């Protein structure tokens, strides 16, 4: 899969792309990531990428010409490339959207700044707008990194550990809810012991415990997620036997 990031601060991404999972995915040829400076496509001698808004008001707005030229340059003849604008006005990124985006061949991520981008660029070039939450960042760069990490880990071969991503919080393996509690060595930490079932070696009992704990945790912390949970008949019976009714 190919990612191309359009930004006025390409150096923002240098260190994150050289770390951990993303670095390995790039080195293994599973992912390609290109950084593109929008300023290189500005048309004036000062390489301006923003200007004052028509109608007055605070702040600056990113100009349409450099953004459009950058998209055209990166897209080339790749008609399948999808342009994603990181914007607080977009749909909120979630696991379902991440899985959808992971099915694309190429994503062009546009990092907005200031008061936003010229509406004409959005209308003509942007395929979808994506938000990472109901809060305001200084620019789209941190949001692009979140999207990049979220999508790349879903690509085949990236994690290299079976169905790890499938069992994550919000994924189908966790029934769309939160994940069960996790424990590791030592068995006793400051007087707190690991639940005995996890030491039993009984994989069926462990699976039942994990399901129950995941649902209890989800009901306590994010109950709205249970509305869309897809449980089997056997799972519903197990939950009911333990006093947990899913409507």
pLDDT for the residue numbered 79? 81
Reduced to 3 states (helix: H, G, I; strand: E, B; else coil), residue 23 is helix
Q: What is the pLDDT of residues 107-157, one digit of tens each?
A: 999 999 999 999 999 999 999 999 999 999 999 999 999 999 999 999 999
Domains of the chain (ranges; CATH) run: 2-152 (3.40.1280.10), 165-241 (1.10.1270.20)
User: Alpha-carbon torsion 223, 246, 196, 205, what sign?
Assistant: negative
Beta bridge partners of 92: 131
Distance CA 80, CA 188 (A): 54
DSSP assignment letter at 245: -
Q: What is the pLDDT of residue 161?
A: 61
- Catalytically active residues are 88, 115, 153, 168
Distance CA 205, CA 92 (A): 37
DSSP 216: H
pTM above the 0.75 mark?
yes
Chain mean position to CA 90: 13
- The span from the first CA to the last CA of the chain, in angstroms, equals 39
Task: Express each pLDDT in 43-76 by its tens digit.
Answer: 899 999 999 999 999 899 999 999 999 999 999 8
């Amino acid at each position: 899969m190919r990612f191309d990031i359009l930004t006025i601060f390409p150096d923002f991404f240098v260190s994150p792309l050289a770390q951990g999972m993303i670095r390995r995915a790039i080195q293994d040829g599973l992912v390609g990531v290109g950084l593109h400076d929008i300023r290189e496509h500005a048309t004036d001698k000062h390489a301006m990428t923003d200007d004052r808004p028509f109608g007055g008001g605070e702040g600056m707005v990113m100009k349409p010409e450099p953004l459009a030229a950058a998209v055209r340059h990166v897209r080339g003849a790749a008609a399948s490339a999808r342009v994603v604008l990181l914007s607080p006005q977009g749909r909120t990124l979630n696991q379902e959207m991440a899985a959808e985006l992971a099915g694309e061949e190429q994503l062009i991520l546009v990092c907005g700044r200031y008061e936003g981008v010229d509406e004409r660029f959005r209308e003509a070039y942007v395929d979808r707008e994506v938000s990472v939450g109901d809060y305001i960042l200084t620019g789209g760069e941190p949001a692009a990194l979140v999207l990049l990490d979220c999508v790349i880990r879903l690509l085949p071969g990236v994690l290299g550990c079976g169905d790890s991503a499938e069992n994550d919080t919000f994924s189908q393996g966790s029934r769309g809810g939160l994940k069960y509690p996790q424990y590791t060595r030592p068995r006793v930490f400051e007087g707190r012991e690991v639940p005995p079932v996890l030491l039993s070696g009984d994989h069926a009992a462990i699976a039942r415990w994990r399901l129950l704990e995941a649902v209890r945790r989800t009901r306590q912390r994010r109950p709205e997620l249970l509305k869309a949970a897809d449980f089997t008949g056997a799972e519903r019976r197990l939950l009911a036997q333990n006093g947990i009714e899913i409507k």
